[in-house]
Amino acid sequence: MKELVFLLEEESAKVMLESLLPRMLNAEIKPRLLAFEGKQDLEKQMVRKMRSYLNPRARFIVMRDQDATPDCRVAKEALLARCAEAGRQGVALVRIACHELESFYLADLAAVEAGLGMNGLAKHQSTAKFRDPDALQNPSKKLLVLTKQRYQKVSGSRVIGQHLDVGNERSSSFKNLIAGIKRMEQELLGLAA
């Protein structure tokens, strides 16, 4: 079986991907989404989960928020070291959302508008702060203000994920996530049956 296994910091990332992946993954590939209870839980359990994963054809994508980590490269290197410790180097990618998952949503206000059933949000996309949402501190707070508290982390992620444009490049971290998923998809499709 060709599986793409996601190890995710939290439930909101899982529900976003549940609605995004069916629109972009080849039907031959089965996504498996494992949500943890925060970054400490992810980092504590990921080696064991990856090491004990039985499918030798599986590919892994580890995703977490940058949050207050000053340099996302340091966080990425630490997670890559854990992948190597699990014996999964070469079949695992690490993706860091700068600064939070909500940066992806602020990069696609049309998706936020459609998902939450609101009007007038997409017009803000051309303002300076929403042209480069990865540079924003506390994007979740900015999203709450913009949506007048209508955005909720899990339910909002579920409905916004249905509308996210996979070709959107305003968030570099979202663009890198999509590119990583596509790269792993091509590796899996290249495996003999």
Average pLDDT, stretch 122-135? 91
pLDDT of residue 44: 96
Asked whether the predicted pLDDT for residue 110 surpasses 90, the reply is: yes
**Which has more confidence, 87 or 129?**
87
Residue ranges and CATH numbers for the domains of the chain are 2-100+170-190 (3.40.50), 102-161 (no CATH)
Instruction: Dig out the tokens for 9 from the structure.
Output: 């910091």
* pLDDT tens by residue, 27-63: 999 999 999 999 999 999 999 999 999 998 899 999 9
Contact 174, 96 (CB under 8 A): no
- Taking all residues of the chain, what is their mean pLDDT, rounded to a whole number? 94
Average pLDDT, stretch 14-37? 96
* pLDDT tens by residue, 139-168: 999 999 999 999 999 999 999 999 999 999
For residue 191, name the pLDDT band (cuts at 50, 70, 90). confident
pLDDT of residue 71: 79
Contact 110, 92 (CB under 8 A): no
Contact 62, 53 (CB under 8 A): no
Contact 66, 98 (CB under 8 A): yes
Q: What is the spatial distance between Cα 176 and Cα 193, in angstroms, rounded to a whole number? A: 28
Asked whether the predicted pLDDT for residue 193 surpasses 80, the reply is: no
